[in-house]
Amino acid sequence: MSEPLPTTEPNTANVADYLLVGKDPGRVALRSVRAEHTYGELDSLSAGVARHLLESGGAKGDRAVLVSENSLFWVACYLGVLRAGLGCGPLPSGIPLEDLAFILDTTEPRFAFL
């Protein structure tokens, strides 16, 4: 497991922790046609995303949108946002611009992963 993330709430857990903590880092967590990715990779990548969000001033209650096709990028960003304690709104990569604009205006996310 990666080093602890900065937090203002010690001893908290979330869905990302549930999915990653205690898993064999060498065990395959994701399989695609092109590659396999381990729990260790997911832990490291999602911790990096979480750390970036927190170091960029992200705080509990902030929101992020994630616009992407299903991929390692999607999973790492989604879990990273959750690990940082932020809310994440995943959206399909083909979302019409008018719909995206409405969602952005309505939810006012602080961060976007594209």
pTM, rounded to two decimals: 0.86
CA distance 39 to 7: 22
Q: Can you tell me the distance from the alpha carbon of 55 to that of 73, in angstroms, rounded to the nearest whole number? A: 20
- pLDDT attached to residue 14: 81
CA distance 66 to 89: 6
The tens-digit pLDDT sequence of the chain (114 residues) is: 555 555 445 556 688 888 898 999 999 999 989 999 999 999 999 999 999 999 999 998 899 999 999 999 999 999 999 999 999 999 999 999 999 999 999 999 999 999
Q: Which tokens is 78 given?
A: 């989604």
DSSP characters over the chain: -PPPPP-SSTT---HHHHHHTT--TTSEEEE-SS-EEEHHHHHHHHHHHHHHHHHTT--TT-EEEEE--SSHHHHHHHHHHHHTT-EEEEE-TT--HHHHHHHHHHH--SEEE-
d(CA 76, CA 16): 10
pLDDT for the residue 10:
53
Residue 41 DSSP SS3: helix
pLDDT value of residue 7: 47
